[in-house]
Structure 1
């Protein structure tokens, strides 16, 4: 009698080995992602405390923590920490989270490292609305912030509608955004040319960007929005990864490309609009936060929460440098611009060498 040996045993063994290797790779990626996220969170908390320690009146780390958490009653320390330094530190923290998350969503969704809110017209739209409010309406505080928020949202909606043609592609969205940004910048120059000297200086200070100009109401609005939008962005990370593979692959995985893309873009636009309304158009943080986070994450690239934490760390560090390490205190946007411009040149040069720079 002839014994038949199943021919599919090697195939089954190979499939099991591949599945085991895949699970091991996924486990290592998850472990690295969790470790990097925790390390970044610790670094952000340390920078937050350091921001409230330094100044003309030095305060110890323990006193800062006790004052913020209301563990001790020390009127002089509480006045300096809660009244003077905490609003600026909280502004840098929340604005950095919003810029980092929105920047990496744009870059992954549009599949271009230059796809940042800085360059696709959204921050320029906010700047135009804010400059108009300052110069023509003599507004300030919540009026300017509200107009900046509305300007950013309208600019984002305009970009989406102009880029829509049986769907939104990254290349078309970026080109239209760059053109709109140039147009808005020209209108900003026109508005400033009609301003009085005091109004022009006030508008230019806002357009430079600084984390120290937010009111309590603006900070509460941004913090409340982050509590909703940041978890929503993290939940949308699965559709975002699917869209990176292309629309056909996303449909195969059960993702609706147009709806998911609209939700992701909407979330990113609202995040950056709120950040700009609080601190002005701080340049380059949204551009560099995602790539730095990806370098730290290694094979576990694309994490929205790590990119948001990198954005906070960058902005807290930039504020420390701008206020305490330079001969004259400067707006935070000056430091981020000085650091971000060389990075942009390097990014353009390397992209061109790799043949993806256009």
Structure 2
């Protein structure tokens, strides 16, 4: 019993240290986002602006450009990280992130249609895009059930096919759009923080906060799920209800975040595995995954803005990170004979 208690305390301490280090790293990136740019400002001036003072030459850049950009990165990155971890944990496959199995593609296609064809803008686009993201998830699930039998591998393959179909529809809409509208929408589809406004932030914060609380209340269930459905049922877990609630919550997260910032590539895909390797096994990595998503998004945005002569969308950098990791996963799974 003493050894069990020691092991539990050791894992809990490791989890807390990982969360603390990710918070510190995120705070450093937040400070860099607010202070660095085409013109760099002293930390003291930025703090004065955040406290409500007006500082000539600083207030506008911080309040209207850098602050919404930073907050968009923090909360959308957290949302993508949490959603990716939930999908990968439920489907027990590192490939099963929302941007791989078509959820993000569904949200993106709906947003592009509403912007280019219907002519809508603002929060109404976020709401309808989120609804279409949920509908996409339902369709993928229903197509994955054949004669009452559902398999995770089938859902992933169908999701990849649905994603390809939706991306083709998006490409068609862009081809028919006016040149200026197509260029603006293409930047959004690359995953960009450039057009995030402060008016987008309160709703994003509320959705991320509420959904995270709901999922955090289910962390004990997430610790049981990797042991298998039979074991979970034996412990009294209502798997159908729990899985449905988790998937709906994760879809809402990724859909709403995508409608605000665009589909920032690979954040959902990378956050869960990184968080799990840092925090270790035996305890849910939900919160670490969200923090990894935030750190990845902030760090990639800093790299995209400062490391190249041209200011690229943040999704270009995160996509470059995700591509080699996907190849590595596919090679490793092929060697192990995983299908």
**Aligned residue number for residue 47 of structure 1:** 29
Instruction: With the length of structure 2 as denominator, give the TM-score of the two structures.
Output: 0.94
Moved segments of 4+, more than 6 Å: none
Structure 2: 5+ residue stretches without partners: none
Does the CA-based 8 Å contact 1:149-1:277 persist in structure 2? yes
**TM-score if structure 1 supplies the norm length?**
0.89
Where does 1:213-224 land on structure 2 (aligned, <5 Å)?
A: 213-224=195-206
Aligned to 2:211: 229
2:182 equivalent to 1:200? yes
Displacement of 1:303 in angstroms is 0.9
What SS class does the counterpart of residue 323 from structure 1 fall into?
helix
Higher relative contact order (CA 8 A, sep 6+): 2
Output aligned runs, 1:137-286, within 5 Å. 137-164=118-145, 166=148, 168-286=150-268
Between 75-84 and 94-103, report the one with greater CA deviation.
Answer: 75-84
Mapping of residues 325-336 of structure 1, within 5 Å: 325-336=307-318
1:345 aligns with 2:327: yes
Report the 3-state secondary structure (helix = DSSP H, G, I; strand = E; otherwise coil) of the residue aligned with 1:136. helix
C-alpha contact (below 8 Å) 1:110/1:169 kept by paired residues = no
Aligned partners of 2:233, 2:153: CA distance in 1, in Å? 21
Deviations, residues 302-337 of structure 1 (Å, cap 9, x unaligned): 410001000000000111111122101111111111
RMSD (Å) for aligned C-alpha atoms? 1.9
> Is 1:87 aligned to 2:68, yes or no?
yes
1:119 aligns with 2:121: no
* Maintained 8 Å contact 1:96/1:285: yes
1:62-73 alignment runs, 5 A limit: 62-70=44-52, 72-73=53-54
**1:85 to partner: Cα distance:** 0.7
- 1:187-238 alpha-carbon deviations (Å, 9 max, x no partner): 2222223222223222222211102222323221110111211121111111
Q: Distance in 1 between matches of 2:183 and 2:131?
A: 22
Q: How many pairs were matched up? A: 338
Write out per-residue CA displacement over residues 25-73 of structure 1, whole angstroms, 9 at most, x where no aligned residue.
1111011101111111111111111111101321223433343244x55
Q: Please list the CA deviations of residues 149-200 of structure 1 after superposition, one character each: whole Å capped at 9, or x if unmatched.
A: 2321221222233334657542232122112112212222222232222232
Distance 1:333 1:24 in 2: 42
Contact conserved, 2:267 with 2:318, CA < 8 A, in 1?
yes
- Can you give the 5+ residue segments of structure 1 that lack an aligned partner in the other structure? 1-18
1: CA distance, partners of 2:50 / 2:336:
49
Q: Which residue of 1 aligns with 2:41?
A: 59
Deviations 1:79-136 (A, max 9, x none): 2222221000000000000000000111111000000101111111112112212321
Separation of aligned partners in 2, 1:149 and 1:204: 19
Residue 264 of structure 1 deviates from its aligned partner by: 0.8
Structure 1 residues 168, 258: closer, same or farther in 2, change over 3 A?
farther
CA radius of gyration, larger in: 1
